[in-house]
A and B are shown apart, each in its own frame.
Chain A
Amino acid sequence: MDLLEYQGKQLFARHGLRVSSGEPVTTVEDAVRVAGEVGYPVVVKAQVLIGGRGKAGGVKLAAGEAEVREHAGNILGMDIHGHTVRTLWIEHASDIATEYYASVLLDRSAKRPLVMFSVEGGVDIEEVAENTPEKLIRRHVDALDGITRAEAVEMATDGGADADVIDGVADALVALYEVWLEEDATLAEINPLIVTPDREVKALDAKVSLDGNALYRHPENQELSDSQNEDPIERRAKEEGVQYVKLDGDIGILGNGAGLVMSTLDVVAQAGGAPANFLDAGGGSDAEKIKQAVQLILANDAVKAVLFNIFGGITRCDEVARGLIAAFADLKPTVPFVVRLDGTNDVAGRELLQEAALPNVYAARTMNEAAEKVVALAAAR
Chain B
Amino acid sequence: MSVLVDENTRLAVAGITGREGSFHTLNNRNYGTNVVGGVTPGKGGQDVEGIPVFDSWEQAAEEVQPNTAMIFVPPRFAADSILEAASAGVELVIAITEGIPAHDEMRVYNTLKRDHSGTRLIGPNCPGILSPGKANVGIIPASFFKQGNVGVVSRSGTLTYQIGNEIAQAGFGCSSIVGIGGDPVPGSSFVDVLELFQADDQTELIVLSGEIGGSAEEEAAQYIAERVTKPVVAYIAGFTAPAGKQMGHAGAIISGTAGTAAAKAQALEAKGVRVGRTPTEVAENAVEVIGGTSLAAP
Contact = CB atoms under 8 A, between A and B. Distances in A.
A229 B33 CA distance: 50
A311 B161 contact: yes
B162 A106 contact: no
Contact of B280 (A261, A314, A367): A367
Contacts, number: 168
A243 interface: yes
A313 B139 contact: yes
Interface string A355-370: 0000000000011100
A266 B214 contact: no
A247 B242 contact: yes
Interface string B213-250: 11110010000000000000001011111100111111
A214 interface: yes
A255 interface: yes
A141 B171 CA distance: 49
Contacts of A312: 141
Interface in B268-298: 277-280
Give the bracket for the number of chain A residues in contact with chain B.
35 or more
B103 A263 contact: no
Given A259-B249, A262-B252, A366-B280, A283 B139 contact: yes
Contact of A256 (B101, B158, B216): B158
A106 B104 CA distance: 12
Interface stretch (B38-46, B86-94, B105-113, B192-200): B105-113
Interface string A237-279: 0000001010100000001111111110111111000010010
Contact of B184 (A113, A143, A186, A245): A186
Interface in A311-353: 311-314, 342-344
B240 A266 contact: yes
Contacts of B209: 259
Q: Which of B114, B140, B235, B278 has the most CB of A within 10 A?
A: B278
A342 B99 CA distance: 26
A111 B106 contact: yes
Contacts of B235: 263
A89 B235 CA distance: 45
B159 A260 contact: yes
Nearest to A315: B158
Contacts of A126: 256
B34 interface: no
Interface in B129-184: 139-141, 144, 154-162, 165, 182, 184
A326 B95 CA distance: 35
A132 interface: no
Interface of A: 106, 108-109, 111-113, 126, 142-144, 181, 184, 186, 211, 213-214, 216-217, 243, 245, 247, 255-263, 265-270, 275, 278, 280, 283-284, 311-314, 342-344, 366-368
Interface of B: 20, 75-76, 99-104, 106-107, 109-111, 114, 127, 139-141, 144, 154-162, 165, 182, 184-185, 209, 211-216, 219, 235, 237-242, 245-252, 256, 261, 277-280
Closest 6 A/B residue pairs (Cβ): A259-B156, A258-B248, A257-B158, A259-B159, A214-B101, A260-B158
17 contacts: A213-B100, A216-B76, A245-B245, A255-B158, A259-B157, A260-B158, A262-B237, A265-B238, A266-B239, A278-B247, A280-B248, A342-B162, A342-B165, A343-B144, A344-B141, A366-B280, A368-B280
